[in-house]
């Protein structure tokens, strides 16, 4: 009888330990359908700049970040506390692999862009056969048709990594965003007929963005902003490329210029045909938060600027 009881006790202990070990495991399925499974919740994470911008406000701090440009210029990282985080790359497609390896990462968190079929930094850096994939599994959020969906996906990922989404700071940022979104909608409703154009000013051409593939532009459309859709998208799927001689092909009431670099307006104003666009001549130009919004705080700030520009715009300018 004693032996039976002892065996039962040992069996119960074994099952308890097995359940604990199983519960400590971690898995995540990314937008490509690939599931990463680890024996324990990953603690040492290397993140792309955009992934870091999605995770840090939720309380998940990576040990390393790779950026597409100098960190000081990376819009996604502005305003975030990067203290103690190793920067392993500051140019598109480039990292210091020795620094990355020294961090001993458990996981690489990047982003998958379905329009171009690439991971953050390019597939040579973060794809299936990349140098980063040799250090740790790569996974992450898919960039879809709404920034809200992206943020919610980051919340799901962060919670799986141990984040407390009930944190008061997170709730406050969400509330600030909701107020900014409602003000944005009200400004649009007050300007029936207003049209907007999203663009990148290059030295060689004016690039007109399509909302398809741009999560924030799709959000703006959903909330009522009439964004002009270009009719000749290039092979990459994001822009129509227009020579500066034909800069006036589209005539919006408001121009939104890509704000990932600080020289956009300066480049545009240097082109003699810039003011052939009525909105440019009227100074109806504002910033487009192009492709980098990953948290509610940044989104709220961007919407505040756009709301002010919409309120100041003339909805009849392009008639």
Q: What is the SS3 assignment for 205? A: coil
Q: Can you give the pLDDT at residue 24?
A: 63
Domains delineated in the chain? 25-165 (3.40.50.1980), 181-312 (3.40.50.1980)
Q: Which pLDDT does position 318 carry in this prediction? A: 82
Burial pattern 145-157, b for ≥16 Cβ within 10 A else e, equals bebbbbbebbbeb
Helix (H) or strand (E) holding 154: helix 147-160
Which structure tokens are listed for 168? 């008061």
136: Cα within 13 Å, side-chain hemisphere: 23
Q: Measured between alpha carbons, how far is 157 from 60 in angstroms, rounded to an integer?
A: 10
Ranges of residues in the chain with a pLDDT under 70 are 1-24
Q: What is the pTM of this model?
A: 0.90
In this prediction, residue 6 carries a pLDDT of: 41
């Amino acid at each position: 009888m004693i032996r039976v009881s002892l065996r039962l006790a040992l069996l119960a202990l074994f099952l308890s330990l097995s359940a604990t070990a199983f519960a400590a495991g971690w898995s995540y399925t990314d937008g490509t359908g690939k599931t990463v499974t680890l024996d324990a919740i990953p603690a040492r994470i290397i993140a792309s700049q955009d992934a870091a911008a999605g995770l840090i406000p939720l309380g998940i701090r990576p040990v390393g970040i790779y950026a597409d440009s100098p960190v000081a210029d990376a819009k996604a990282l502005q305003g975030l506390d990067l203290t103690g985080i190793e920067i392993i790359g500051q140019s598109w497609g480039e990292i210091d692999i020795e620094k990355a390896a020294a961090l001993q990462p458990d996981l690489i968190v990047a982003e998958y862009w379905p329009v171009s079929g690439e991971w953050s930094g390019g597939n040579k850096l973060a794809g299936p056969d990349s140098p980063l994939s040799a250090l740790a599994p790569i996974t992450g959020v898919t960039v879809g048709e709404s920034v809200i969906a992206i943020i919610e996906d980051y919340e799901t990922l962060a919670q799986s990594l141990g984040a407390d989404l009930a944190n008061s700071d997170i709730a406050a940022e969400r509330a600030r965003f909701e107020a900014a979104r409602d003000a944005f909608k009200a400004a649009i409703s007050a300007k029936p007929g207003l049209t907007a154009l999203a663009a990148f000013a290059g030295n060689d051409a004016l690039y007109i963005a399509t909302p398809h593939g741009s999560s924030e532009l799709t959000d703006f459309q959903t909330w009522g902003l009439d964004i002009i859709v270009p009719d000749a998208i290039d092979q990459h799927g994001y822009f129509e490329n227009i020579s500066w001689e034909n800069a006036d092909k589209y005539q919006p009431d408001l121009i939104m210029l890509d704000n990932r670099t600080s020289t956009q307006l300066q480049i545009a104003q240097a082109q003699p045909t810039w003011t052939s666009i009525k909105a440019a001549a009227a100074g109806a130009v504002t910033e487009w938060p192009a492709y980098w919004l990953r948290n509610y705080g940044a989104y709220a700030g961007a919407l505040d600027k756009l709301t002010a520009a919409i309120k100041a715009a003339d909805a009849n300018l392009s008639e």
